Amino acid sequence: MTQAPDLLVIRSRRVLTESGIREATVHITDGRIAAISEWEDVPPRASLEDAGHSVVMPGVIDTHVHINEPGRTEWEGFATATRAAASGGVTTLLDMPLNSIPATTTVDALRAKREAARGKAIVNVEYIGGVVPGNADQIEPLAEAGVRAFKCFLTPSGVDEFPNVAEDDLRTAFPLLARTGLPLMVHAEDPALIGTPPSGGSRAYATYLASRPPEAERSAIELLVRVMEECPTRVHIVHLSSARSLDVVSRARARGLPISVETCPHYLTFAAEEIPDGAVEYKCAPPIRSSEEREALWRALIAGEIDSIASDHSPCPPTMKETDGDFFSAWGGVASLQLELSAVWTGARERGVPISTVSRWMSANPATLAGLADRRGSLAPGKDADIVIWDPEAHLTVDPSALEHRHHITPYAGRTLFGRVVGTLVAGRKAPGDR
């Protein structure tokens, strides 16, 4: 990163402050916001960056990213993932405890993660600990070592190092998690309701979609709520693909249970009926559902029933997608880290959603989830100067070769999106991966 000046002032006609969007200057010293002042307030000694009419707002905080280093760095790594993040206006990542080797299920594995990231990360990286069968004794040590959350799967994760938990494992883990105060992020699908892959696989997207029905999400969330009722602890449902389970969540919240929900840009952008057979770049789990389901997710976001948006960036080497179009043997994961702000904004502007609301979904609420709200997630004096400058009126056509991810396979290829990132600052310094 470039050396920060003693006083940097960013000026724009559209600064997203805690009181709304207005003409303002953001004064930055020592990596933090010193003041937010009037547009004309630029001290003589300051270094000025005039953003014109571009939006200046808090950097995106992505709480769901698979960086995969160490162990599977050929899938992705800290250098490439954080460069992609900076290019897309993301200033903080939470690294999932899989698919690295070792998985982040022990303090030693967390130490290996941090060592692997040393000198490579150009945005903030925070870590998530894993909850797997047999590692209950590591939950509190991992919390003490600084993880921001925990993660488990209720259905097989796809990698041997991170087995899924059952109800008995949850009942063992919940009292320990409750003592830490940290959220448990859950891949919520009931394995009993997931279909058996057809013999020989299938190129038909409809066949893959039918194998992972919305009822699997609902059943898993009902299980989590039952365990929460016996031992309340923070639970966060990751990558919700269908709004059909949200009545379960709403009733749990009404009873005072601390449950939150995220969805992902791909569920808000694509629709099952638009996915060609054999187009395995769209494969993820849970799957992308119908346009009706997509619109229901948007309505739930706007109504506040869904709290946040995260990318679930989960890339893999091209050979793992090159399965002759078989949806059952292809790796499931969408590469979107660099594109998430643009993808979400494209859908939001079509539906009349303001920029301030998008920032709440992608910055403020994720900061709260990760225990970072005292430092990040909004522009205010004393907060870290983690900032994205972007033009919401500009559009781009996604060119995979221009992506900073290690691998360029993405369902967004060729798609026109609104919202071009102009600059990304992390602790007041321009991140070299931005555009």
Distance CA 181, CA 399 (A): 42
| Residue 3 confidence (pLDDT) above 50 | no
Spatial distance between the Cα atoms of 96 and 72, rounded to a whole number of angstroms: 13
Q: For 27-83, how does the pLDDT look when each residue is reduced to its tens digit (9 = 90+)?
A: 999 999 999 999 999 999 999 999 999 999 999 999 999 999 999 999 999 999 999
| Ramachandran area for residue 107 (φ above 0: left; ψ -120 to 50: alpha; else beta) | alpha
Tell me: pLDDT of 114 over 80: yes
CA distance 331 to 339: 20
- What sections of 270-408 are H helices per DSSP? 291-303, 340-350, 355-359, 365-369
Q: Which domains does the chain have, with CATH numbers?
A: 59-374+393-415 (3.20.20.140)
Residue 260 pLDDT more than 90? yes
Return mean pLDDT, the chain. Answer: 96
Tell me, what's the pLDDT at 6?
A: 85
Kindly tell me if the per-residue pLDDT of 214 is higher than 50.
yes
Q: In which band, very low, low, confident or very high, does the pLDDT at 433 lie, cut at 50, 70 and 90?
A: low
Question: Above 80 in pLDDT, residue 346?
Answer: yes
DSSP 378: S
Q: What is the structure's pLDDT at 380? A: 97
Report percent pLDDT > 90 for the chain.
97
Q: What is the pLDDT of residue 1?
A: 45
pLDDT at 2: 47
DSSP 120-139: T-SSEEEEEEE--TT-GGGH
pLDDT at 415 over 50: yes
Length of the chain: 435
Other C-beta atoms within 10 Å of 314: how many?
Answer: 26
CB 252 within 8 A of CB 259: yes
Span 294-319, average pLDDT:
97
List of E strands, 44-165: 47-50, 55-58, 60-65, 90-95, 124-130, 149-153
Closest by CA to 88, choosing from 60, 66, 68, is 60
Distance (Å) of CA 89 to CA 77, 146, 199, 218, 431? 18, 25, 43, 33, 10
Contact 386, 427 (CB under 8 A): yes
Query: What is the token pair recorded at 171?
Result: 């009942």
Q: What is the pLDDT of residue 432?
A: 73
> For residue 291, is pLDDT > 90?
yes
Residue 229: Cβ within 10 Å count: 11
Phi then psi dihedrals of residue 368, to 5 deg = -65, -45
Q: Tell me how far apart the alpha carbons of residues 107 and 146 are, in angstroms, rounded to a whole number.
A: 10
For 163, the token pair is 């087995």
Q: Each residue of 79-108: pLDDT tens digit?
A: 999 999 999 999 999 999 999 999 999 999
Report the C-alpha gap between 328 and 331 in whole angstroms: 8
Q: Averaged over 152-160, what is the pLDDT?
A: 97
